[in-house]
Structure 1
């Protein structure tokens, strides 16, 4: 007899899932029935937040949904932080949890891991939260999740299966087909967009995380219009070293000046969030007068009205726009505009941040084509302001948007398992690294060859600086870090400590040669 738990594994396989991240418990044992016999790999984090963040990193690196299995109650609430981060950054994540038996729900009887209304709580965080009350509902629930990932702005989806439903007979269940993504933008809207393009003299393109897999179409439009391309933090890696590329934050005055003098802005896959466009909170960002927005999410388009809105995937929208421009090929001052903005932005961030960006560049140059997964730490803040990565989708972190501290280590593990042939680096501060430090054990156990770089300035230096700037005497910003070398030894990791960033390139080459988890600590004055 096939149970509902076994059918779940079969359905996930049918939808192309090859890895799940989870911590089994008494409330999910039946979901694990059949997992050992399947082709799906199970990775055990050391905390359920780690399960969600690993699924996030896996999804960002691969473009496929990351999947987490967690128990009801504390297992699920521990995962909420990761789900909120995924929602903020449009990351496809499927969280499958248990829940207590159907007759007990909502009655407050004191069952193990009981919540007053687990489904209601998750409906506030997830794009969709659904309870399976009988085996026949399972194929539809799984298909609904994958349809959301394929046709809408992605994010976290939650499915809960009650304890008394998991062991029910579920023979003969078949996957439900999902709708294909609607990628064709409205023809009338494209025609209106082309009129704006043809009337422009100084166009500019803004490319966000939604455009990170649209490089070919983005490049075609940019070169046809001779338009500079500003990439947000989640769009870095697009237009690498291209004369039209501007890998600098729209929060910088230099980039805002470029935006202000443009007579048309094409915004592809960017939500205009303050952590990209107004990170200093000075109110200096103004929505352009003439704006073409390309976004898959209708609600997002409504939040920032545009002159013309194309509701579709960024790649499809840019490709349609390029095709409708009928072979237009401009030449002019686009590269000069981009170059002067790059120079001004670099000067604007100042020597201290320039040095931190150069440390990130040392990682990129030592490990070409790497994925650099960041946490909230000084070099990541600096590189989010100005940094040109060499792989689209290869620079991502939690220092923008929701901003979950401790994101880096587990997300890097997920990314390494998704892309085993690419170098993966986790760049974290000593403070944030301690949030998810036990996941070093998961990296060793899973054989994820992540190079963990700990930027050790002995505390929450960015917060301390902010306190001082506000005239607040710093309190609570100097937690004493552990001896990271000894911790690495305890987990069986090779490690080394640097006191100078100049030795980072050679250390990275040594770490890459090991082909297993490695820790590099950089002690910063």
Structure 2
């Protein structure tokens, strides 16, 4: 018996647990879509391939599971490259399956439809690996490599391109045999030494990154056993739970937290790259660790970057958290809660003039939608929320203000999150400028048929850049943009609409979110909000 390559691809994806694909059909993927009609995969059609990538990103961050993207050759792949760059920067799993021209024509520069000199090389820079399938019978091998990366290494986008003459190629019909991958466990000798250093510490500090998002119970148990103040990255927000007395959140760029870090005699950093967009948001290279540094990362290369390390463990974050808790003989007493409370008082985030206008925003979101997944774009409220927002669990707060820092991420990533977590309310927190990158995805939001909240912070342009220009004594050029009528856009895309200018109005609008299976666009007039608070 035989089957087509496209048929085997879909059966393999199902066997690996992929249940959702994002893509826009094209002439080069017709044979894939012929088979898709018989598949169990759920398919969503974005309005742009960049949106497909952001939706897959949001799906993976909200669920911890990869989705697939089905993308046409040429412009489809250059369109999705930005989303792949964002996912690569934040270690988000994403499987991108694309078409490419027929095998006999590759690299010949004949001006074929959608032809690039080398599509594979073009996308290799935003992929963990990128491969051209020349032999359809090798398809199981390369999907096995992709899922080994997703489950046993530092994840990111994997790109597999299939020449259009292979989608309908007949190959032997074989039952899918997905491999089961276990991530690396910490070496016992290294765990023993790390536990010894931590047990003997006087001022321990815990740094938790996005690698800990899948092990919140183990992270909380270790923090409490160490009695150590804990700084989280933005992608680890909520990993200790809501309002935990040891949690300092993503405040590592602020003076009080930096002083705590510099004074720590033993620092344990797990699943974090210790990069600029989490620890140096003021861009002055001022985050310093003077004590012994123990680092745990699934990527050995990362252990040599950004900070000098004394002990490095190549291991899964969750496995290491549990192993260290088991090796620590008894709970420590390091005044962790008192030290954390002292730093919180010093930070006084709610009184910071840059953050204070947004405090009522996050208080309102928390009161109205306490269990929501909040997905942000690069916009003022999101930058503030990285400091202010408190989440009851991980995977409830993520945005494009970290790592790659693209605009246009928030709405499509929120759509992916809504598909991944249908039982939770989802809020897209976006600016008027960033939303205009992806207005077409309002159509996808309508197609979704779920009560997604799209909170648009309207300050008539690119206000963050406007403020940077003012601070640098640069004349405002290209930043004062008139926003469209969001009321009319809501009507055109069959979305509900509300316009608010204060916390009470926002609370009332959010209370209507579940009233219908359609998106709710809430336009927040930034100037009116500032005057009201």
Normalised to the residue count of structure 2, the TM-score between the two structures is 0.96
- 2:322 corresponds, among 314, 319, 323, to 319
Q: Using the TM superposition, name which of 369-378 and 260-269 deviates more.
A: 260-269
Q: Using the TM superposition, name which of 95-104 and 361-370 deviates more.
A: 361-370
Coordinate RMSD, CA, aligned: 1.4
Q: What is the aligned residue count?
A: 524
Q: Which residue of 2 aligns with 1:8?
A: 9
Residues 183-204 of structure 1 deviation map (CA, whole Å, 9 limit, x = unaligned) = 4201111111012112201111
Q: Are the equivalent residues in 2 in contact too, given 1:427–1:455 (CA < 8 A)?
A: yes
With over 3 angstroms needed to count, the CA separation of the structure-2 counterparts of 1:489 and 1:236, relative to structure 1, is: same
Q: CA deviation at 1:35?
A: 0.9
Q: Which residue of 1 aligns with 2:149?
A: 148
Q: CA deviation at 1:176?
A: 4.1
Q: Are the equivalent residues in 2 in contact too, given 1:217–1:315 (CA < 8 A)?
A: yes
After the TM superposition, which residues 334-345 of structure 1 pair with which residues of structure 2 at under 5 Å, given as runs? 334-345=336-347
Q: Using the TM superposition, name which of 248-257 and 173-182 deviates more.
A: 173-182
After the TM superposition, which residues 16-35 of structure 1 pair with which residues of structure 2 at under 5 Å, given as runs? 16-35=17-36
SS at match of 2:355: helix
Residues 66-98 of structure 1 deviation map (CA, whole Å, 9 limit, x = unaligned) = 210000000001000000100111100000000
Q: Which residue of 1 aligns with 2:94?
A: 93
Q: d(CA) in 2 for partners of 1:414 and 1:375?
A: 14
After the TM superposition, which residues 35-50 of structure 1 pair with which residues of structure 2 at under 5 Å, given as runs? 35-50=36-51
Q: Which residue of 2 aligns with 1:164?
A: 165
SS at match of 2:171: coil
Q: CA deviation at 1:449?
A: 2.7
Residues 373-394 of structure 1 deviation map (CA, whole Å, 9 limit, x = unaligned) = 0001111001113332222110
Q: d(CA) in 2 for partners of 1:3 and 1:62?
A: 31
Q: Which residue of 2 aligns with 1:283?
A: 285
Q: Which residue of 1 aligns with 2:74?
A: 73
Q: Which residue of 2 aligns with 1:188?
A: 189
Q: Which residue of 2 aligns with 1:215?
A: 216
Q: Are the equivalent residues in 1 in contact too, given 2:208–2:272 (CA < 8 A)?
A: yes
Q: Are the equivalent residues in 2 in contact too, given 1:501–1:522 (CA < 8 A)?
A: no
Q: CA deviation at 1:23?
A: 0.2
Q: CA deviation at 1:443?
A: 1.2
After the TM superposition, which residues 293-304 of structure 1 pair with which residues of structure 2 at under 5 Å, given as runs? 293-303=295-305, 304=307
Q: Using the TM superposition, name which of 290-299 and 92-101 deviates more.
A: 290-299
Q: Where does the alignment leave 5 or more consecutive residues of structure 2 unmatched?
A: 528-533
Q: Which residue of 2 aligns with 1:474?
A: 476
SS at match of 1:379: helix
With over 3 angstroms needed to count, the CA separation of the structure-2 counterparts of 1:155 and 1:331, relative to structure 1, is: same
Q: Which residue of 2 aligns with 1:402?
A: 404
Q: Using the TM superposition, name which of 129-138 and 176-185 deviates more.
A: 176-185
Q: d(CA) in 2 for partners of 1:514 and 1:340?
A: 45
Q: Using the TM superposition, name which of 293-302 and 352-361 deviates more.
A: 352-361
Normalised to the residue count of structure 1, the TM-score between the two structures is 0.97
Q: Which residue of 1 aligns with 2:531?
A: none
Q: Using the TM superposition, name which of 418-427 and 293-302 deviates more.
A: 293-302
After the TM superposition, which residues 247-396 of structure 1 pair with which residues of structure 2 at under 5 Å, given as runs? 247-303=249-305, 304-326=307-329, 328-347=330-349, 350-396=352-398
SS at match of 1:454: strand
Q: d(CA) in 1 for partners of 2:149 and 2:69?
A: 17
Residues 207-240 of structure 1 deviation map (CA, whole Å, 9 limit, x = unaligned) = 1111122211111111111111111211111222
Q: d(CA) in 2 for partners of 1:294 and 1:516?
A: 43
Q: CA deviation at 1:349?
A: 6.6
SS at match of 2:394: coil
